A and B are shown apart, each in its own frame.
Chain A
Amino acid sequence: MDTLNLSWLLIAIPLASAGVLLVLGRRVDRWGHWLGVLASAASAAGAIAMLVELLGRGAADRSVGVHLFRWIPAGDLNVDAGLLVDPLSLTFVLLITFVGTLIHIYAVAYMEHDTDRRRFFAYLNLFVAAMLVLVLADSYALLFLGWEGVGLASYLLIGFWNYRSDYAVAAKKAFVMNRVGDMGMLVAMMALFATFGSVNYETVFAAAEGTNQGVLTLVGLMLLVGACGKSAQFPLQAWLGDAMAGPTPVSALIHAATMVTAGVYLIVRSGPIFEGAPTAQLVVVIIGAITLLFGAIIGCAKDDLKKALAASTMSQIGYMILAAGLGPIGYAFAIFHLVTHGFFKAGMFLGAGSVMHGMGEEVDMRRFGGLRRYMKVTYATFAFGWLAILGVPPFSGFWSKDKIIEAAFVGEGWRPLVFGSVALLGAGITAFYMSRLFFMTFHGEKRWNDGHSSTPDTAIARTPVQHPHESPRLMTVPMIVLAVGSVALGGLLSIGGVFTSWLEPVTGVVGDHEPVLPVWLLMTLTLAVVVVGLVLAWRQYAASSVPVIALAGSVLTRAARKDLYQDEVNDGLLVQPGQYLTRSLVYGDRQVIDGAVGGLGRVMVRLGDVTRRLQTGYVRSYAATMTIGLVALVAVVLATRI
């Protein structure tokens, strides 16, 4: 009996809290949000206790299965609900509960004026519970339960302000696109069960080696489809930008730090399957590379602060997926980047929320500018997150992103050159769009109406007067904590390769691999493209003035503003043909099936109309019929007799 056997409490506490908040309803409005914070904090405390317990063991004993109960006993199919506590899942648990708790605290202040704050916290707790199920599960079946749970929580939270119909539509869009990914997950699970007779990690991974490569490729690709849906990777990426309709703490927790990284977790966790399927691995890397550039390009053109951050999230997860596709050499770095990204991106989202809070819910960056003098804490914390995502040493992102770029350059043939160059190019674009975002918001001249300047620009004068102010302590403290993480976490976890060796029991021991280009050259190149991106952004968005109304822009800019026409493509390729199909089915149903049935009825009615005329209602005519019939009958009988 040790602390690990109580690991189910981590899930149960937030779940119970969500239940209490939802069932008791308005009665707990006064203190409900604090219950939510407490539940999340309790899980975080439990996670730390588990970390202490695991650190006290040898590296080989750090993977512990906790059997909970027999979940689906059905003949040959026997699914047990069990938890797997190992360095990988515990890393996620720590990230989810720690960042989650900070965001809970932030949300207490952020949602203060919302009458439904209690419901918001119920959903957040539900999300935390579901996400913990996802990462702690010891089988694909239980993982799928958490997978669907986070999808539900994400749907509820994106559509939290569902009185605005476009927000409700955004929620539905996210839900439907995730269902496409879920189909992939289901197919993968069915294939696993058909091949191995089990969906338990232990059984599957033990049997994976030596299994037919075709099966593993199928499973790998289907898992990738699931990962693409959840992690907003190409081609299922279109929902993430619209998901910013949710309150900002949701964007920070679910659509930046945790849920959207579930795809990376899935691929790293399913490592043994992917290692047996090089084709699937290659596809993973390609998807990661495409998304990386896709998100980065969109990020360069977005004027909506949150949507630009969402594009950046997509791009950064592209990095992680790329690393995860590289195999054991990339697993640890994918997870490492995921953790540091969880901190700095959540921090920046909270900063964005703070800016919106101070600017009357404005999100258009063209109407910000010069805010650094008004929101000093937000400015400083955002700056650390910005430096971290740029990969400037010694901030967190440097330690994780550079490693991914290095890993992308390892290999033979064309792959390292192509994928490495994409990763390198992505770093440059990232530097440009993040700097653009940062400068447009905090630097440059004011592009908002401060009420007493006689600005000649009428476009500004017409907007409501803004009184930018720093956010309350409850909001700034979580931002400061996350900023500290953005600064120091990467460096601290890199000392002596602490993080990679901590993950080694799961990701496997990797020998030294030399990139095709020397490491010092790669580092210099990375820093060089980052500086180029930064300087370009400075010249365009800080040193010169930014127009309040966006210019028409080039073809690429217009395409990027429209998310590279992702919605149009989906609409043209899937939605329209689907609608035509259903319409033609409806037409066929009406014309052919209804026509046949209705036509038969009409024929009968006509026939009845004709025969009805024989029934005159005159007794005499009936009697005549009878008589004639009788005479005819007698005549026939007589004729045959004679």
Chain B
Amino acid sequence: MSLVNYLVLSGILFSIGAVTVLVRRNAIVAFMGVELMLNAANLTFVTFARMHGELQGQVIAFFVMVVAATEVVIGLAIIVSIFRTRGSASIDDVNLLKS
């Protein structure tokens, strides 16, 4: 089974994530899109690590997971607090800084 298939899958996943971020208004769904993009990148890292027979790619994938986890924690906290104060999780409604 060729490794190229993994890269194609990774590209598809990334595109789905990017379109989700661009199209959906709900902050949580957009967030999920971001996660999907991150995991697509992880898949690419791991694939290339296998192709070259090295470990760096796999290590970086772990780092990305850690960063994604922290991001989710802080991001979700912000989204929840916005939802509590404004009664909406739509990212278009967050416009207090707009003049």
Q: A residues near B, CB below 8 A? A: 617-620, 623-624, 627
The answer to whether A618 touches B92, judged by C-beta atoms less than 8 angstroms apart, is yes
Contact (Cβ within 8 A) B21 A623:
yes
- Which single member of B91, B95, B97, B98 contacts A620 (CB below 8 Å)? B91
Q: How far is the CB of A609 from chain B (nearest CB, A)?
A: 13
Given A623-B22, A627-B22, 17 new contacts (CB under 8 A)? A617-B95, A617-B98, A618-B91, A618-B92, A619-B91, A619-B92, A619-B94, A620-B21, A620-B22, A620-B23, A620-B25, A620-B30, A620-B91, A620-B92, A623-B21, A624-B22, A627-B18
Q: Chain B: interface secondary structure?
A: helix
CA distance A619 to B98 in the complex (A): 12
B17-51 toward A: CB 8 Å interface, digit per residue (1/0)? 01001110100001000000000000000000000
CA distance A624 to B97 in the complex (A): 20
A619 / chain B contacts, CB cutoff of 8 Å: 91-92, 94
Expressed in whole angstroms, the Cα–Cα distance for A261 and B30 within the complex equals: 99
Q: Which residues of B contact A618 (CB under 8 A)?
A: 91-92
A-B contact pairs, 5 of them (CB 8 A): A617-B97, A618-B91, A619-B92, A620-B25, A624-B22
Please name the residue on chain B nearest to A628 by beta carbon: B22
Q: Give CA–CA (A618, B94) in the complex, Å.
A: 8
Q: Tell me how many residues of B have a C-beta within 8 Å of chain A.
A: 12
CB closest chain-A residue, reference B24: A620
Shortest beta-carbon contacts, A-B, top 8? A617-B98, A624-B22, A619-B91, A617-B95, A620-B22, A627-B18, A623-B21, A623-B22
Within 8 A of A (CB), among B43-99: 91-92, 94-95, 97-98
Q: Which residue of B lies closest to A621 (CB)?
A: B22
- Name A630's closest neighbour in chain B (CB-CB): B18
Contacts of A620 in B (CB 8 A): 21-23, 25, 30, 91-92
**Chain A residue with the shortest CB-CB distance to B33:** A623
CA gap between A617 and B91 in the complex, in Å: 10
B97 / chain A contacts, CB cutoff of 8 Å: 617
Residues in chain A near residue B30, CB distance under 8 A: 620
Q: How far is the CB of A212 from chain B (nearest CB, A)?
A: 75
Complex Cα gap A618–B93 (Å): 9
Query: What residues on A are CB-neighbors of B95 within 8 Å?
Result: 617
CA–CA, A624 to B21, complex, Å? 9
Chain B residue at smallest Cβ distance from A631: B18
Closest chain-B Cβ to A620's Cβ sits at a distance in Å of: 6
* A620–B95 alpha-carbon span in the complex (Å): 13
Within the complex, what minimum Cβ distance (angstroms) separates B70 from chain A? Answer: 20
Residues of B within 8 A of A627 (CB): 18, 22
A284 to B98, CA, bound (A): 81
What residue of chain A has the Cβ atom nearest to residue B95's Cβ? A617
Report chain B residues within 8 Å CB of A624. 22
A623 vs B31: C-alpha distance when bound (angstroms): 13
Residues of A within 8 A of B92 (CB): 618-620
- Report Cα–Cα, A618/B23, bound state, in Å: 12
Question: In the complex, A627 Cα to B95 Cα: how many Å?
Answer: 22
A623 to B91, CA, bound (A): 12
Which residue of chain B has the shortest Cβ distance to A620 in the bound complex?
B22
Which residues on the A side are within 8 Å of B98 (C-beta)?
617
- Across the interface, name the chain A residue whose C-beta is closest to B21: A623
Give the residue name and chain of the A residue nearest to B22 (CB): A624
Chain A residues, Cβ within 8 Å of B22: 620, 623-624, 627
A178 vs B1: C-alpha distance when bound (angstroms) = 109
**B64 → chain A closest CB, angstroms:** 18
Once bound together, how far apart are the Cα atoms of A618 and B21, in whole Å? 12
The residue of chain B having its C-beta at the shortest distance from the C-beta of A624 within the complex is B22
Interchain CA distance A619-B23 in the complex, whole Å: 11
Q: State in angstroms the CA–CA spacing of A619 and B97 once bound together.
A: 12
B21 contacts which chain A residues (CB < 8 A)?
A: 620, 623
Question: How far, in Å, is A77 (CB) from chain B's closest CB?
Answer: 64
The docked-state distance in angstroms from the alpha carbon of A598 to that of B54 is 65
- Whole-angstrom distance between the Cβ of A627 and the nearest chain B Cβ: 6
Cα A618 to Cα B97 with chains together (Å)? 11
A612 to B: closest C-beta gap in Å: 9
